[in-house]
Chains A and B, each alone.
Chain A
Amino acid sequence: MTIRDFSAEEMLREQMGRLPTTDEANPSTLGTLDRRQFLKAVGGGIVVLVAMGDPGGSVVEAQGMGYPEDFNAYLRIGKDGRVTVFSGKIEMGQGTMTSLAQMAAEELGVSLQRIDMIMGDTDLCPYDRGTWGSMSTRFFGPAVRAAAAKAREVLLDLASQRLGEPIDRLKLKDGVITSLTDRSRIVTYAELAGGEPIAHTIDREAVLKSVREFKTMGVPTKRLDALDKVTGKAKYAGDIQLPGMLHARQLRPPAHSSELRSVDTSKAEEVPGVVIVNQDGLVAALHEDPEQAELSLGLIEADWQTPEPHVDETTIWDYLRSKDPGGEPDDVRGSVEAGAKLSAERFSHAYHDGYVAHAPIETHTATATVQDGKVTLWVSTQSPFGNQATVAEALGIPKAEVRVITPYVGGGFGGKSTAHQATEAARLTRIVGRPVQVAFTRAEEFFYDTFQPASFIEIDSGLDSEGRISLWDYHVYFAGDRGAEQLYDVPNSQIVVHSQGWRAPGVHPFATGAWRAPGANTNIFAKESQIDVMAAAAGADPIEFRLRNTKDKRLRSVLEAVAEAYGWEPQSAPSGRGLGVACGIDAGTYVAHIVEVVVDRTTGKVQVKRVVCAQDMGLVVNPDGAKMQMEGCITMGLGYAFSENLRFRGGEILDKNFDTYEIPRFSWVPKIETVLVSNDELDPQGGGEPAIVCMGGAIANAIHDATGARLFHLPMTPKRVLEALARLPDFDG
């Protein structure tokens, strides 16, 4: 398996080696071919759509996402027998490169080693809206599988003609088709396709392989990007170094609300080799040496006007309440009045969450160059096609004149859905006439992040005399509806989502956006805390209480699986053991967690000792990759649970680096055990987000189980833990 480098020229030359261009020596002409022209140029044949029946629900859904029907858009079989798969999805660590390759290999009937992936290149790959929402395997996966299955059937048909044998007398193995009548008669995919788009029709349906037939899917598979990443060969947007390239450092406001009154670049202009840009709001120092660019930027004198801040991380919730646009009850069952009457005991609590940063280790980066009017960009983005459109619009040129190439992305988590740096790099390269790289500093990364919004949730719930949930009146403000749904069988329940969710433009003092399972972390923290409050009041074991209140099979099965994997012994909280339970649904996947904590009552510090997580994600394409994502979610979840809370004064972001904004470290990480609950009947569901959503709730419940103290605020910092302990009636600490 080789993962190709992503340099435009190189890639085109290598990948599509036999391009019939008139000027091989001038690779820039290659860069100007769009995908359609390219197919025409390489193929020489007419691409005929394969006539086939309905390939199944998920494929139809996939095509609803705008994916093309012609399988040639997804794959190409080279003369050397290697298969190149084209995907508008990108690889940011979530392992999609590997699972998509597995799916293509499986349906095509070749070994995984034959697959090369081209991801997130707007000139080469089928259109895709973006890599987020745990949708790659769910929605793009079916499209890739269907395309590969179609290609397989077409190739078998061609082989049948070539060998003069009916298809049922042919055997396919790793791209080699053998006649069962005369085993010396063989034809390969490479010979049949010859590096060209396949123009051939069949009138049969291409049936997807069943789980029992799987050879590559469902098998734990090593990451295909691993070797590149451990040797330093893996290229990220900032690793693209072009001849004559300048590194740009830009003038940034002290706060989001600041306005530039005047700027003086004269001192900076004296730095040898510097190029200063001051045009249409772009003020930048560019230099071949990034340190000289930084130094020059420091010499630019700017006068900013910044309004008085009126809100910070301690007053944000009052401010948000004043902005409450109201909301309509959703998923209404029974009525809250009836629920109130039915309830023997009522519980009314509010839960709060602050702003949380994405903080990928790779900052937003773009490298840009212009050749013959066409802008080529290497961007760390979750949305190459969206980015292409944004850049084209900003420059006032057609989309076809912008090519976005997405190398490996160094973490996204939703934060790289916007890629403003690409527009900056594109504008700057056009102004200075040289390749330009914009790589955010860590401070810029914090400043321009699209944070998980601060939010709060109010729940009024009740228990009937038999310890069943009788009432659930749920109001979420500014976190959105993801994860807010009713998990339990509650006869009187309503969900009211206030605001337009996590974006809420104009409300927050800076940009907010999707943060890994957007809204679900906050919603499930509140919901599963409230469930635990009621379980404790009912004197019930937290798992038993949850099972008592749901008939949902998948929810029950993950709860039972996690209890078994943990070796759960029922007991009502607070038991002193420090065990917390939470469960949830996200991206079609069910999860349940048990965490074990130790609380230091003098410092308020909480150490998580062990986390067991059971997950039902339907059919699992790469069990090893799925477990890796679960571990990643659990580890990242420690951050929002314990420390991550952006500090700000109005539009000024006070956290500028990892010294004050703390993310999980090695010593925080518990023993993590993951269990995949088998559910092969169901199509693959989300994997990159679900296991993070329970971390806040499970930990809050574990702290309560350890101490009897209830935390209502994320993150659960030592200070807040101490405050909660101090509220206990018998606290003597």
Chain B
Amino acid sequence: MKETIRFRLNGQPKTLKTDGDRKLLWVLRTDLGLTGTKYGCGESLCGSCTVIVDGEAVRTCQLPMSAVQGKEVITIEGLAEGNAIHPLQEEFANRGALQCGFCTPGMIMNAYGLLLANKRPSRGEIVEGMEENLCRCGAHQRIVEAIEAASRRV
């Protein structure tokens, strides 16, 4: 059933007339051309599809569009402010906290949500907060370091 869904996406108002059962992941990737949000498992098991909805890290592969009605959504494409990339992005890049990069948008968005909830997480809290995000390349150690470094800057 088509419904009108209004939400803010990366700071811009969006109105979509679409089926409210469709998952945000696929609407982002197909209708809206925002391909930074990735499919990795489709069952909320890997975290590659993570975005921010109203200040919280959320997995979009099982999130229906109806759930973002009236909400504020931020994807990896919306993290930079103007030309300045976010400290998390900068630390990930500078510290080589990525290899194939496929998990990276989900990692960064999950970390962004983590830092919104806890400005100065301890190492243990970072590990716990990132535990459900999978990286097959094994960039974990540097990801933790990057989040720690970014937390000192935001």
Chain A contact residues, CB within 8 Å of chain B: 92-95, 222-223, 225-236, 238-239, 241, 247, 288-291, 359-363, 408-413, 439, 441-442, 624-625, 628-629, 631-636, 657-659, 663-667, 669, 671-672
Roughly how many angstroms separate A223 CA and B97 CA in the complex, as a whole number? Answer: 10
B116 interfacial by beta-carbon distance below 8 Å: no
| Chain B residues closer than 8 Å to A411, beta-carbon distance | 99-100, 102, 136-137
A658 nearest in chain B by CB position: B45
Which 3 A-B pairs rank lowest in CB-CB distance, beginning with the nearest? Answer: A232-B36, A635-B138, A93-B100
Supply 18 A–B pairs (Cβ within 8 Å), ascending by A. A226-B96, A230-B85, A230-B93, A288-B30, A360-B100, A361-B136, A362-B100, A410-B102, A442-B41, A442-B43, A629-B99, A631-B139, A632-B137, A635-B141, A636-B138, A657-B45, A664-B138, A666-B131
| Chain A residues closer than 8 Å to B79, beta-carbon distance | 231
Roughly how many angstroms separate A665 CA and B129 CA in the complex, as a whole number? Answer: 11
Q: Using a CB-CB cutoff of 8 Å, which residues 13-49 of chain B contact chain A?
A: 22-23, 26, 29-30, 33-43, 45-46, 48
B89 nearest in chain A by CB position: A230
17 further contact pairs, Cβ within 8 A, besides A229-B93, A233-B36, A666-B140: A93-B100, A93-B101, A95-B99, A229-B104, A231-B77, A232-B75, A238-B35, A289-B30, A361-B100, A411-B136, A625-B96, A635-B141, A657-B45, A658-B41, A664-B138, A665-B132, A669-B140
B108 interfacial by beta-carbon distance below 8 Å: yes
Q: Are B141 and A441 in contact (CB under 8 A)?
A: no
Roughly how many angstroms separate A3 CA and B114 CA in the complex, as a whole number? Answer: 30
B149 interfacial by beta-carbon distance below 8 Å: no
Residue from the list A231, A232, A413, A631 in contact with B142, Cβ < 8 A: A631
Chain A nearest CB: distance from B125 CB in Å? Answer: 11
Q: Are B77 and A291 in contact (CB under 8 A)?
A: no
Roughly how many angstroms separate A360 CA and B40 CA in the complex, as a whole number? Answer: 9
B63 interfacial by beta-carbon distance below 8 Å: no
Residue from the list A232, A289, A412, A632 in contact with B138, Cβ < 8 A: A632
Q: Are B35 and A222 in contact (CB under 8 A)?
A: no
Q: Are B35 and A239 in contact (CB under 8 A)?
A: yes
| Chain A residues closer than 8 Å to B135, beta-carbon distance | 361
A625 nearest in chain B by CB position: B96
Q: Are B98 and A235 in contact (CB under 8 A)?
A: no
Roughly how many angstroms separate A568 CA and B138 CA in the complex, as a whole number? Answer: 26
Chain B nearest CB: distance from A416 CB in Å? Answer: 10
On whether A408 and B100 interact (CB within 8 A), knowing A231-B80, A238-B39, A659-B43, the answer reads yes
Residue from the list B22, B33, B92, B94 in contact with A241, Cβ < 8 A: B33
B146 nearest in chain A by CB position: A230
B79 nearest in chain A by CB position: A231
Q: Are A442 and B40 in contact (CB under 8 A)?
A: yes
Chain A nearest CB: distance from B7 CB in Å? Answer: 19
Residue from the list A290, A632, A671 in contact with B99, Cβ < 8 A: A632
B128 interfacial by beta-carbon distance below 8 Å: yes
B102 nearest in chain A by CB position: A410
Roughly how many angstroms separate A657 CA and B93 CA in the complex, as a whole number? Answer: 29
A240 nearest in chain B by CB position: B35
| Chain A residues closer than 8 Å to B33, beta-carbon distance | 241
On whether A667 and B131 interact (CB within 8 A), knowing A229-B104, A290-B30, A442-B42, the answer reads yes
Chain A nearest CB: distance from B141 CB in Å? Answer: 5
A247 nearest in chain B by CB position: B30
Q: Are A231 and B101 in contact (CB under 8 A)?
A: no
B103 interfacial by beta-carbon distance below 8 Å: yes
B86 nearest in chain A by CB position: A230
Q: Are A410 and B101 in contact (CB under 8 A)?
A: yes
Most buried by A among B45, B139, B140, B144: B140
Roughly how many angstroms separate A225 CA and B99 CA in the complex, as a whole number? Answer: 9
B99 nearest in chain A by CB position: A93
On whether A290 and B136 interact (CB within 8 A), knowing A361-B102, A667-B127, A672-B141, the answer reads no
| Chain A residues closer than 8 Å to B41, beta-carbon distance | 442, 657-658
Q: Are B77 and A441 in contact (CB under 8 A)?
A: no
Q: Are B93 and A241 in contact (CB under 8 A)?
A: no
Roughly how many angstroms separate A290 CA and B76 CA in the complex, as a whole number? Answer: 21
Q: Are A361 and B138 in contact (CB under 8 A)?
A: no
On whether A289 and B26 interact (CB within 8 A), knowing A93-B101, A223-B96, the answer reads yes
| Chain B residues closer than 8 Å to A95, beta-carbon distance | 99
Q: Are B98 and A223 in contact (CB under 8 A)?
A: yes
| Chain A residues closer than 8 Å to B42, beta-carbon distance | 441-442, 657
Chain A nearest CB: distance from B9 CB in Å? Answer: 13
B105 interfacial by beta-carbon distance below 8 Å: yes
Roughly how many angstroms separate A362 CA and B136 CA in the complex, as a whole number? Answer: 9
| Chain B residues closer than 8 Å to A360, beta-carbon distance | 100, 102, 136
| Chain A residues closer than 8 Å to B138, beta-carbon distance | 631-636, 664, 669
On whether A635 and B140 interact (CB within 8 A), knowing A230-B108, A659-B45, the answer reads yes
Residue from the list B90, B99, B141 in contact with A94, Cβ < 8 A: B99
| Chain B residues closer than 8 Å to A633, beta-carbon distance | 138
Q: Are A361 and B48 in contact (CB under 8 A)?
A: yes
Q: Are B136 and A663 in contact (CB under 8 A)?
A: yes
B68 interfacial by beta-carbon distance below 8 Å: no
Chain A nearest CB: distance from B18 CB in Å? Answer: 9
Roughly how many angstroms separate A633 CA and B77 CA in the complex, as a whole number? Answer: 30
Roughly how many angstroms separate A532 CA and B3 CA in the complex, as a whole number? Answer: 66
| Chain A residues closer than 8 Å to B48, beta-carbon distance | 361
| Chain A residues closer than 8 Å to B101, beta-carbon distance | 93, 225, 228-230, 234, 408, 410
Roughly how many angstroms separate A360 CA and B102 CA in the complex, as a whole number? Answer: 9
B5 interfacial by beta-carbon distance below 8 Å: no
Roughly how many angstroms separate A659 CA and B139 CA in the complex, as a whole number? Answer: 21
Q: Are B80 and A628 in contact (CB under 8 A)?
A: no
Q: Are A227 and B93 in contact (CB under 8 A)?
A: yes
Roughly how many angstroms separate A93 CA and B132 CA in the complex, as a whole number? Answer: 21
On whether A241 and B89 interact (CB within 8 A), knowing A232-B105, A411-B100, A442-B43, the answer reads no
On whether A359 and B23 interact (CB within 8 A), knowing A288-B30, A442-B41, the answer reads no
Chain B nearest CB: distance from A673 CB in Å? Answer: 10
| Chain B residues closer than 8 Å to A230, beta-carbon distance | 76, 85, 88-90, 92-93, 98, 101, 104, 108
| Chain A residues closer than 8 Å to B26, beta-carbon distance | 289-291
Q: Are B46 and A232 in contact (CB under 8 A)?
A: no
Roughly how many angstroms separate A631 CA and B146 CA in the complex, as a whole number? Answer: 15
Q: Are A236 and B137 in contact (CB under 8 A)?
A: no
| Chain A residues closer than 8 Å to B22, beta-carbon distance | 289, 291
Residue from the list B88, B103, B140 in contact with A361, Cβ < 8 A: B103
Q: Are A632 and B108 in contact (CB under 8 A)?
A: no
Chain A nearest CB: distance from B75 CB in Å? Answer: 7
Q: Are A236 and B76 in contact (CB under 8 A)?
A: no
A408 nearest in chain B by CB position: B101
Chain A nearest CB: distance from B134 CB in Å? Answer: 6
On whether A665 and B134 interact (CB within 8 A), knowing A231-B76, A442-B40, the answer reads yes
| Chain A residues closer than 8 Å to B40, beta-carbon distance | 361-363, 442
Q: Using a CB-CB cutoff of 8 Å, which residues 68-88 of chain B contact chain A?
A: 75-77, 79-80, 85, 88
| Chain B residues closer than 8 Å to A288, beta-carbon distance | 30
A230 nearest in chain B by CB position: B89
Chain B nearest CB: distance from A284 CB in Å? Answer: 18
| Chain B residues closer than 8 Å to A624, beta-carbon distance | 96
| Chain A residues closer than 8 Å to B76, beta-carbon distance | 230-232
B140 nearest in chain A by CB position: A669
Roughly how many angstroms separate A427 CA and B23 CA in the complex, as a whole number? Answer: 28
Chain B nearest CB: distance from A375 CB in Å? Answer: 22
| Chain B residues closer than 8 Å to A413, beta-carbon distance | 136
Chain A nearest CB: distance from B44 CB in Å? Answer: 10
Q: Are B136 and A666 in contact (CB under 8 A)?
A: no
Roughly how many angstroms separate A635 CA and B76 CA in the complex, as a whole number? Answer: 26
Roughly how many angstroms separate A360 CA and B100 CA in the complex, as a whole number? Answer: 9
| Chain B residues closer than 8 Å to A628, beta-carbon distance | 96, 99, 139, 142
Roughly how many angstroms separate A408 CA and B102 CA in the complex, as a whole number? Answer: 9
Q: Are A226 and B136 in contact (CB under 8 A)?
A: no
Residue from the list B98, B108, B130, B134 in contact with A663, Cβ < 8 A: B134
